[in-house]
Each structure stands twice: as C-alpha cells, then as structure tokens.
Amino acid sequence: MSEPGSGAASGDTGLSNLLHEERRFPPSEEFAADANAKADLYDAAAKDRLAFWEEQARALDWDQEWSQVLDWQTPFAKWFVGGKLNVAVNCVDRHVAAGNGDRVAFHWQGDPAGDKRTITYADLKDLVCRTANALTELGVKAGDPVAVYMPMIPETIATLLACARIGAPHTVVFAGFSADALSGRILDADARVVVTADGQFRRGEPAALKPNVDEAVAKCPDVRHVLVVRRTGADVTWNDHDVWWHDIVDRQSTEHEAQAFDAEHPLFILYTSGTTAKPKGILHTTGGYLTQVAYTHRNVFDLKPESDVYWCAADVGWVTGHSYIVYGPLANGATSVLYEGVPHPGDKDRWWKLVAEHKVSILYTAPTTIRTYMKWGPEPLQAHDLSSLRLLGSVGEPINPEAWMWYREHVGGNHCPVVDTWWQTETGAIMISPLPGVTATKPGSAMTPLPGISADVVDDSAKPVPNGGGGFLVLTEPWPSMLRGIWGDDQRYKDTYWSRFEGLYFAGDGAKKDEDGDLWLLGRVDDVMNVSGHRISTTEVESALVSHPKVAEAAVVGASDPMTGQGIVAFVILRGGAEDAGDSTAKELRDHVAKEIGPIAKPRQILVVAELPKTRSGKIMRRLLRDVAEHRDMGDVTTLTDPTVMNLIGEGLEKGGGKDEA
Ligand code: PRX
C-alpha cells in the first residue's frame, strides 16, 4: 500500500473523498428551545477551554476542590490536580441525599421474560454499600485491582460502583471471552479477587461462566477469592477460594462510609485489542473521567433526569457500558433500562416491546444492530408503540447514511434527532458528535468535536487537510477523560498513540472533512484500500452498497490484485424480502457503486452472504475477510461471535460467484 498522500485522486491530502451527502436534518424548534446544550456552549469552550472544563467539573460533588485544572507533560495528563471526590457517592448517594431515593435507577430486564427488577437509587445505595463492605471483608483495599467477569445483571453494576467506592480499580472482562482471555487479563492487571456468576442467559438459554473462571484462575496463583453470583442455578464446581455472593454480600450492613480519593486515582483498566496479539490495559482515572462522561451524557443525549427513560443497549464489558450505562447516566441521576439479552432472530420483537413497556425516550446503540434490523425488515418495530422515543444515538463504527436514515425513519418516526457519536476506549467519553438541539445533522457524519474538544484531520506530514480532503484523525489538545496510559507500559502508550505525529494523539482512524468542514469517520486506517493508486476507504464503498434498496449490510476489503494493486471484494447481506438473483444481483450492485462513487470503486467481486464475521462487540472483522479474499489460512477465529460463519463465506468465494467479468 502506498503512503498516504501518494494517491492520484487525492493530491497530497491522503484519502480520496468520494461520497457526497446533501440531506440535512436540523432539530425541530421545540427540541432546540428545550435543549440542555445551546449554541453558546461552543462559544464558552472556545473562549477559555480550561475554565470551561472547570465549569463542567463543578456539576460533580467534590470533597476537596482542585488547585490546578491541568498538568500536561506530553503525553501524560493530570486533570483537576489536588481535587478529591468519591465516584460512587457522585453516582448514587448524592441523588438519595437530594431527595431522589425513590427515583428508578434501573429497570432491569433479564433475558428470560419473567426476570425483572426495579432498582431505585435508594436500593442501589444499599446494594453498593453491602458490596463494598463484602469486598473489604475479602481483603480488597484501595488500589487493588478487581477482575469482573459477569453478565448484565444489577449485581454487576453494584460491583463496579463498590470498587469505585473503595478505590479498587475494576477490570471488566466481557463475559463472552474465553478462559485464556480472562487469565491473561487477571495476570496483567494483577487482580487478586474475581467477581463472577455461575452462568448467564444468552438467546434464551443458560450458558456457564464459572467453568471458564475455574480454568482461568488455575493459571493465576495470586487470586485469593472468587465471588460468585447465583444467576442460572447451574451446578458448579466449588473451590476453597470461592464465596457465594448471597452468603457474604447479603449479610453486610447497608452503611458504608465512603472516603474521597484523588482525582487521578485509578478508576478502571479496560483491555482493548489492537493489531498485535497482546491486549492493552487502558487506564482511566476518576475526576476528569467522571466530569466528561457526565457532561457528554447530559448534553449529547439531552438528558432530563426527571422525565427521560434512557437505554444504552451495550454490554457492560465494553467501554460504552462503563461510560454510558454506569458512570455517565448515574452521575446525572438518570433512569435507565438495563437488558441482559441481545437481539436474535428467534425474538425480533423483544427490543421494541421493551421500548414500549418502559416508554424509553433515549436509545443508544450500534450500527451493527441497526443494520441487523434493516435485514429483518421493519415489521417487528411497527408492531409496537415507539412514540416515547425522542432521541437516538449511534456508536462503535461508522454508520452508513442509509442505516442512519433507516434508524431515523423506522425507529425514530422521523422526529428524533440522531446523534452519531465518535469516541474510543482510549478517549473514555464521546469526543465528536452533533449537539441534538443545535446541529443540523447529515446522515453518516459525526459532524464536529464537542465543545471543549479539539480534533483535526491531518495529512502524512501532520498538516491539517483543507475542507474536502481526507487523512488521519488526530486529537490536538488533552481532554479530561483521556486514557492516562497503558497499564504498566508507558513506552507502549507513547509508541501506540503519540509517535505517529509529534504532540498529537493519533486515534488510528481515517476521516475526511466535507465542504463545510464537518467530519466523516472512515474506519481504521488499516482498513484503507489502494486501488490503482487511489486510497479508498472501505466505509465509503460499504455505504454505497447499503444505499441500494436490496442491501442491509456490507463489508468491503481490498484483496491483492496483479492489475490494480488491490481489488475491492464486497460481502453483502440482503434486506428482508430481497432476492439474490446471482450474477445479475452482483452486477446491479456493482453498477450502483459506480453510480454512487465512480467506476474506480466498483467491487471486483460481490458475494451475497447470510452473516458477516463480527467481534463480540459487533465490529466487522475485515482482517478475516481479507484472509479469505486472498485465500489465506484464517488462523484463530475464536473471538468471533460465530466462528462457523467463515467456512460458509470461504465456500462461496471458492465457487467464484459474483465476479466482474468486464
Ligand atoms: O474506529 C473507531 C470506531 O471504533 C473505534 C473505537 O472502538 P472501541 O475502543 O471499541 O470503542 C467503541 C465505543 C466507543 C474507533 O477508533 N468508532 C467508534 N465510534 C464511531 C467509530 N467509527 C465511526 N463512527 C463512530 N461514531
């Protein structure tokens, strides 16, 4: 692949800028008039960025005020230096003290339909205090990492908050990960206590968790205790170090005196995989993190804590769950829906039943889910009253314009602002997003950095690209919820994020600025294709495919090609009702891409598939598709949600369907 900037189409600006979007969606007058964030928020932040962040930090309760807003020794930041606060008190106790103990914190819905719990802020306070007392009895002290491998149940939320309350950084490992992934993380974080459950419910069936923990802990000699919630009632092997949750937590006092911790005290470590094998332990701390998650949650989602019902449909195992199920919403005193299950073909109605039942007003989900419902067709949505919804959010991947439009129309009834929010595990909180009461949105664009955030798109020599150009997304100023490093590896932190461009945080994503200077995320730069010297983003070709009425979802990769350097190979899932007419469908789609973005982006081969390989957080694994497209051995596929998907795709490709004969 050529260096960025060498492509013929792009001059020296990096990525080719291909798609154009003319549609605009300004907020309604009523929405704008009542919005938490008005246009003056941008002015306030531009006038004095640090004073602006101080103002945001004052929305929290501090035991001791900071003496300095920011201490920046590139690339190491300290925010609110000298300040002290307790995160759990900010998320729970202060709402009870303000007289809102009866407000619902979580409407919990288990995967089995009959499993429901309503947890008020007062209930949550009791549960968090009991859990904090139990962890203390198990010997956990401030600074001791605790590993959490749990399903989406209220005890999980309580565990995170209890850790925060006693100053023990948590490290959550997604409950779909293997024993090896778990032991690697326990060892790297040096956690001595693991909190888990006997099992969890997935797609209507119980699935075991405890055997994975047993296998993992066998390799972790320093683990002293495993605290186990009974969730499924499955038989479990019992070891000396195991303790049942109901035996120890239930008998604790509901009183627990919280201590204030330094603003830079570690709050959590969350492992994220990069291009190399060893996952990175991303470290977040307390004061700056809580400030920015609360600020973004209040302004991007326009939260009205007295009247809104908010649902972030992520898993607590990912950063979205940390920031926008737990810390942001609770810091703001929100009422949330917490759902244990995931959408699946056996129960397409479930989500929409939940929205109607709880009168959900704000929904935050990922493009992969939206495209799944596009594939299934709008009928499951139409059967339910979704009129309570007033705002929709998207995160995790670039959202194709047509998926954005589908979300707006079929979920939002054409009246809800859609906010496409760009951020990362590393950024801790939302960075680039519309403000729903201010921004005239464009389908598929995350628009502009939020007030207080500075981002740009630069070329290979760190020069900002002009409007209309594409390149690398960078963050140009430190932000309060930024990662403070990679756990135990400062050098890797510098090398990974700060070495590509001096003094700039490089996010790993490609982006373009449109004619108005608004930002369009183009996916990971590793996913860029080079076709006859044109650098073309996989996202743009995927969006062109998804804009065809027959296509629900598309994944595009560049496979090496003797003629063009790389050729474009597309894998598509058709929408419910659309028929695969073989080569004529492939031709129709190829012509459609040519019309939307130009003949250069025409896929060499288009394959209609039933499923795409996705990571457990829903991101398409393009690396594997590249391997099949180039007939390489795929190696380890166990991190996929469904490893068998790859065999089916490989067989289709071998048959040679969908090739461009031209
Ligand atoms: O490539 C970007 C994509 O997801 C990456 C971060 O992934 P993770 O750390 O797992 O966090 C996901 C939840 C914040 C980014 O580098 N990404 C995330 N949001 C968007 C996005 N790409 C385009 N548009 C988005 N809104």
> How far does residue 83's CA lie from ligand 1's centre (Å)?
30
The backbone torsions φ and ψ at residue 420, rounded to the nearest 5 degrees and listed phi first, read -90, 115
Per DSSP, 28 falls in state P
Delineate the domains of the chain, giving CATH numbers in brackets: 532-654 (3.30.300.30)
Among 284, 289, 320, 397, the mutation site with the greatest number of ligand 1 atoms within 8 A of its Cβ is 397
> How far does residue 423's CA lie from ligand 1's centre (Å)?
5
Among 272, 365, 423, the mutation site with the greatest number of ligand 1 atoms within 8 A of its Cβ is 423
> How far does residue 433's CA lie from ligand 1's centre (Å)?
12
91-96 contacts at long range (C-beta below 8 A, 24 or more positions apart): 91/161, 91/164, 91/326, 91/327, 91/330, 91/331, 92/121, 92/124, 92/125, 92/128, 92/161, 92/330, 93/125, 93/258, 94/61, 95/121, 95/333, 96/121, 96/122, 96/125
Atom of ligand 1 nearest to the CA of 539: 23
Going by C-alpha positions, the residue among 237, 285, 241 that lies closest to residue 263 is: 285
pLDDT at position 15 is: 62
The residue type found at 229 is V
Which residue's alpha carbon is at the smallest distance from atom 25 of ligand 1? 422
Element (H, E) at 516: none
Atom of ligand 1 nearest to the CA of 420: 26
> How far does residue 50's CA lie from ligand 1's centre (Å)?
26
The residue type found at 525 is V
Q: What mean pLDDT, rounded, does the chain reach?
A: 92
The backbone torsions φ and ψ at residue 176, rounded to the nearest 5 degrees and listed phi first, read -95, -5
What pTM does this model have?
0.89
pLDDT at position 378 is: 95
> How far does residue 619's CA lie from ligand 1's centre (Å)?
9
Which residue's alpha carbon is at the smallest distance from atom 21 of ligand 1? 397
pLDDT at position 4 is: 31
Number of H helices, E strands in the chain: 22, 30
Element (H, E) at 160: helix 154-166
Among 292, 325, 521, the mutation site with the greatest number of ligand 1 atoms within 8 A of its Cβ is 521
pLDDT at position 178 is: 83
- Dihedral angle of Cα 644, 645, 647, 651, to the nearest 10 degrees: 150
pLDDT at position 576 is: 85
pLDDT at position 660 is: 59
> How far does residue 236's CA lie from ligand 1's centre (Å)?
37
Which residue's alpha carbon is at the smallest distance from atom 22 of ligand 1? 397
Atom of ligand 1 nearest to the CA of 433: 26
The backbone torsions φ and ψ at residue 56, rounded to the nearest 5 degrees and listed phi first, read -65, -40
Ligand 1 binding site (Cβ under 6 Å of any ligand atom): 272, 319-320, 395-398, 420-425, 446, 507-509, 521, 523-524, 617
> How far does residue 68's CA lie from ligand 1's centre (Å)?
31
Name residues of the chain where pLDDT drops below 70.
Answer: 1-19, 274-277, 633-643, 651-662
pLDDT at position 655 is: 60
Q: What is the pLDDT of residues 480-509, one digit of tens each?
A: 999 999 999 999 999 999 999 999 999 999
pLDDT at position 470 is: 93
> How far does residue 509's CA lie from ligand 1's centre (Å)?
9
Atom of ligand 1 nearest to the CA of 421: 26
pLDDT at position 16 is: 64
Which residue's alpha carbon is at the smallest distance from atom 14 of ligand 1? 424
